[in-house]
Structure formats: structure tokens, C-alpha cells
Structure 1
Amino acid sequence: MATFVNNAYGKLKKVLLCPADYYRIEPINGISRKWMEQGYEMDYELCKKQHKALIQAYEDNGVEVELIEPKEGLTYQIFARDFGICLKEGYVLGHFKEPVRQPETALYEKKLKELGVPCIARCTAGCFEGGDFCFLDENTLLMGVIDRTDPAGFDSVKAQLSDLGYEMTPIYVDRKYLHIDIIINIIAKDTVIICPDLLPDGIVQRFKRRNFKMIEITKEEVLAYAANIQGLGDGKVISANTNTKTNQRMREFGLEVIEVDISEIVKGGGGIHCMTFPLIREAE
């Protein structure tokens, strides 16, 4: 049986992205609202250029990129992470909280079927989004219950995945932080970017007991998407070129940092990790 994704750090072989053709910012998070309230006019041609550069960075580093066809009117489809999560057996189909994003679900479901990735569970109550997901290990899953994933959505998926042998732990954080992947991101087998100030102590202790090296970030860095990067495996990560402090820390930890410019895209409230849906990682 094919294994799709069973960890956060094996060599990334294949990802799904959505081009920025119809990307437009909407007032659905604090970052986008800030820019809109200032009257900032997004440069959408620059957004498309930056997204193409991200695709190129993946391909240059041996990652096969699958693209879903963007649909006019689906302004946040670019953030491909959020429709669900991918595990070793297949994917879990989530349910978007924001109405502007809900039509994306059927398109991503169709695309995953075309790619031969089976649906192993689906959110049947409440809301459940992929940006709230983090592997702790192959069978231990952390899930943010923040703004875009609610208790009903968490319980719906947990009940189904427990039958497959998974343990799911909820992480409750202030709603303004939207998704857990701006607070916690495992970027290598023993390394995590994390903001302890925003997390229950029990969650931080779980990482410490497993002897993770911890790159700690502040609340301010969380909102600057300092943790929202993508681990490639083999000691490599892709990160925003504006992420100066965290990039330096990662290099000090022995990681190779591939920098890309997403300075315009991120004004809509999402980063590299948000735009990337892993399809295949090498199992370890």
C-alpha cells in the first residue's frame, strides 16, 4: 500500500499548490484587515510572480509540484494547506469556517481523486482546517482548536482517526492567531520553531521530553509568520527572505535555508507553509 505522509521531516517528494491567478485579499484575518484598513492596494501581478518563484524553489530542490487549477472568485484558494491534512493512508477532508473558502472543498476533493490519494476521513460537523495540523510523531497528531478549527470539527475527525490508531491532542490558543502553524512548526526530525508564550505548558513539555531543539519565537514574530516555513527534509527548509532572525537561527542549527520573496502574498494572511499541501514524504 502506498504511503503518503507520515511525519513532518522526511524528504519531501511531492506537493500540491494553487497558482495566484485569482488571489485577492479579503477581510477574514487580522493581517489582511490591517492592510485593507490602511487603504493598501495589493500588487497582484507581483503575487503571481512570487508564487511562481516558490514553485521554482521547490522544483530546484527536487520536489515535484502538482498544481490545482485556480478558479475565478475563489480568492484564497492559493492557501492550499487548509482544505485538509495528509496522512500515510491518504487525506482527511476538512471543512472551511469562512464562507468565501467553502467552495474550494469540492475542487480539492476532485483534484486529490485525480492524483490517486484516497479520502480516509472527513469533517462532518463544525470546522476543521489543515493549517491547524502538526505531526508530533507518526501516530501522534497535534491540532490547533483556535479560530478556524472548532471543538466539533476536532471531535468529528478524532473519532474517525482513532479507528486508524491515531492519537489526536487539541491545542487551545487565543483566536486571533487563526492557525497553529504560525505558532508551532516541526522543520527537521529534532527541531521545532515554537512560541512557548502562546501554548499550554503541557504542549511545550511534550517537545522537551522528546529532546527537540527549540527555536523560540515571540508573539510579535508569530504574527510576522516567522514559523510559517516548509521543511524539505535532508536538512533543508524554504523560508521567506524577510524572516531574517529565524533564518539565521536555523542556519546556526545546521539547516540549509532556501529563501524566497513572498512579501506581497503574505499581506493576505498566509505564508509558505499555508500555500503548501504535502502529498508524499519519505517515511522514516
Structure 2
Amino acid sequence: MKNPINVFSEIGKLNTVMLHRPGKELENLMPDYLESLLFDDIPFLEQAQKEHDFFAETLRLKGVEVLYLEDLAAEALTDASIKERFITEYLNEADIKEERTKGLILEHLMSMSDGRKLIDKTMAGLQKSELPSLERTSLSDLADSHYPFIIDPMPNLYFTRDPFATIGHGVSLNRMYSVTRRRETLYGKYIFAHHPMFKNAQVPMVYNRDENTRIEGGDELILSKELIAVGISQRTDVASIEKLARNIFDKNLGFERVLAFDIGEQRKFMHLDTVFTMVDYDKFTIHPEIEGNLTIYSISKGTDGLEISQETDTLEHILCKYLELDHVALIRCGGGNPTAAAREQWNDGSNTLAIAPGEVIVYDRNTITNQKLEEAGVKLNYIPGSELVRGRGGPRCMSMPFDRTDL
């Protein structure tokens, strides 16, 4: 039986990918609560869906099987007991203060016979106006009377790269940086445990959502069948990288080394893949602002635990050494121009999705970076992103590979 998870590179031909089509959760964004939900603006849902559909169709036209998170999650609720466990766990993590309120919502969600509609509702969140029978009689209810939601929406879900990451034949089910995104990983938990595609495969977990230190998939890059890069960032702790490395080595997935890139804790960088992605065997996009002060640590398996050392060479030389290449090309976001680089990195010019060696999907809006990629011999597939980009993520952020052809 073929393993349903097979990702040993960033650039091997993409065969199967998981997306999430933006839904009603975006219409539950409100100006007063954008910061807590990790948004800077409110996308226009109808246009965002058109852009996302264009992205999905671009993948299909390249022979990629496109699966949707919302379908997989619904299909994982294979019987009433699993459905009830999922809803109970979901409500326990939704910060509902009153048990009576929680009970009413449990009853409301359990009454939904259509699994897909149930999943859509859990993603969209629940407004107080949707449960008119709810009497606000407790102190916590009254004190919170101006807040419109009983359960917050999950507007970041269309960035499917982050809640979990596929690594070899395994999965890193992540502990998210922000409380508002932690419930997102619940879908992955149930998919890998109960979906018919995965439940008999015994997919190894190299990280668990119950860990107490944070890590996100945008910081996890598979550079080769031996080498993984992980960002030390706003969203990923150093301690998490050590845990991840130890688990990967212990489960014998074939990887021999983890390179930890310290990119700093700034929202504009957020994840490693917003400033660095692999586009071909020897070509990488990079945001020039991180190059000068970039510190890289090497982690490998020693006789008594992990062996950790700081790399002191240039990024080019480090990549050449561990990828066994004579030369690598760093393609700088914005062509290296500080103004263009800052603008296009903000609009995810460095965040490419490789669908085959030397072929990527990019936002059409990052004209300078795209020109530099083409000049370097990279084949580009353009997608529109005027609304999708408002969530601060690009094509790699919006995609979770399940299967790539081995190089």
C-alpha cells in the first residue's frame, strides 16, 4: 500500500495537495478585532474565492490532485461517537465560559446531520445572534455582552501550510503561536486518526498539538531527503525545533540534519517561507533583509542525543555543503532593491509554491521578483492575489502537499 504522505523535498513533482477554500469565516472578520485574529485587513470573500478557485484550477491543469481540508475533516467524522468527540473537544477549546452555553451549542451542532455543513460552521464561528434562545444571565455573559461572538471564527484557515506539516512519511501536528489558531490543528488530529485515507496508514507524528512550545508549518521546509530547514521566528520556538529534530531522528524517517534559520521575531517575516523558498535543485528565493544577520544552527543525531553547532559560513556555502552542490543561486525578492523588496515581501513575493523542479506558482502582483525568477530560468504560473494576500500569505502558505514524486 502506497503511503498517503510522501514529501521528501520542496520541489519534487506535486501530485496531491490539500487546500481550504475561504469561507464564511472571512465574513466574520470585524475591524475592532482584526489584530487578535491576525489580520491587517478584511478580504472581500467573493473575490477571494474566485482567486482561490483560480489557484486550485491552475494546480489541476498541472495534473495535481486537489483535496480540501473541509471535505477531509467532514469525511473523518465517520460515526456519531467520533462526531461527538470532535464537537466536545472543539467546544472545550473555544473559550466558552458557561457550561450551560456550551451545552446548548453542543446540542445545536450535534443536530446538524450534514458533516460538511457542520465543519463549515465550526470554521466560521458562532455569533451570539445565531442562538437567540441563549439568555445572558451570568456575570461573564453580561460583562462580555458587547462582544459579538460566542465562538471566534478561524479566518487564517486558508493558509493550510501552518496547522500541520508533512515531513517524509510523517506529520508535524503543530502547536500554533496564537490562541486564535490553535483550534485549527484539531481538524488535522481527526483527519489523520479517522479519515479512511489515513487511519490504516499509521502516519507517524513528529510533533503533537499538545506540546507546550509553538511551531508552525510555514517554518518547516524539506530541502532534500536528508535535510530539513526550520525557521526560528515569531511563530516557532527554539525548543520546538529541538523536539521536532529529536522525534524525526528517533522515528528514522531518513532525514539526517536540521538547519535552524534564526530570522527574528517580526510579523513582517512571520515564517521562514515568507523570506526563503526553494524553487529548483540549486535556486532559492530570499528576502535580502535577512541575509546579512542570518544565523544558522546545524542539528544532527549524536551518540548521546542531539549534536548542535552554529554555522559560520555564508548561506550559499552552507546550502552547497549540505545539498552537495557546486553552486546555488539566491534570487532576491524585489531584485535586491530595498523599497521593492520590502513591498513585494509584504505581498509574499518570496513565498513560491514549487510544483516541479524549476516550476512554481506565484502571485502576479510581484512583478520585479517574478522577472528575476524568469531571468534565472524558473517557469512561472501566475495567479491573482489582491484579496488572498490581505491575510499575509502566498501560494506556499495556502497549500499543504501530501504527495510529491521523489527526486
Matching of residue 10 in structure 1 with residue 100 in structure 2: no
Matching of residue 213 in structure 1 with residue 329 in structure 2: yes
Q: CA RMSD in A?
A: 2.1
Could you tell me which runs of 5 or more consecutive residues in structure 2 were left unpaired when the two chains were aligned: 71-119, 125-152, 296-312
**Match runs of 1:40-55 below 5 Å:** 41-55=42-56
- Displacement of 1:196 after TM fit? 4.4
- Displacement of 1:216 after TM fit? 1.6
Match of 1:27 among 32, 35, 57: 35
Query: 2 CA distance for matches of 1:178 and 1:270?
Result: 10
Matching of residue 181 in structure 1 with residue 273 in structure 2: yes
Conserved in 1, the CA contact under 8 Å of 2:37 and 2:155?
no
Matching of residue 143 in structure 1 with residue 230 in structure 2: yes
Deviations 1:62-106 (A, max 9, x none): 110010114222211111000122122221111111111111111
Secondary structure of 2:157's aligned partner: coil
- Displacement of 1:234 after TM fit? 4.8
Which range moves more in the overlay, 72-81 or 198-207? Answer: 198-207
Runs of 4 or more, structure 1, over 3 Å off, are none
| Greater RCO structure (CA 8 Å; 6+ sep) | 1
Query: 2 CA distance for matches of 1:223 and 1:203?
Result: 25
Identity of aligned residues (%): 22
Give the counterpart letter for 1:182 in structure 2: T
Conserved in 2, the CA contact under 8 Å of 1:235 and 1:255?
yes
Which range moves more in the overlay, 20-29 or 148-157? Answer: 20-29
Secondary structure of 1:76's aligned partner: helix
Counterpart for residue 242 of structure 2 = 155
Query: 1 CA distance for matches of 2:275 and 2:387?
Result: 21
Could you tell me which runs of 5 or more consecutive residues in structure 1 were left unpaired when the two chains were aligned: 36-40
Higher helix share: 2
CA separation of 1:203/1:66 partners in 2, compared to 1, >3 Å: closer, same or farther? farther
Matched length: 277
Give the counterpart letter for 1:238 in structure 2: I
TM-score (norm 1): 0.90
Deviations 1:235-280 (A, max 9, x none): 3211101021122222222222110101111111111111100110
Matching of residue 262 in structure 1 with residue 354 in structure 2: no
Deviations 1:109-161 (A, max 9, x none): 22244232613312423001000012232121110011111122222212111
Which range moves more in the overlay, 99-108 or 69-78? Answer: 69-78
Secondary structure of 1:81's aligned partner: coil
TM-score (norm 2): 0.64
Secondary structure of 2:223's aligned partner: strand
- Displacement of 1:50 after TM fit? 1.0
Deviations 1:156-179 (A, max 9, x none): 212111222532221112211110
Query: 2 CA distance for matches of 1:77 and 1:29?
Result: 11
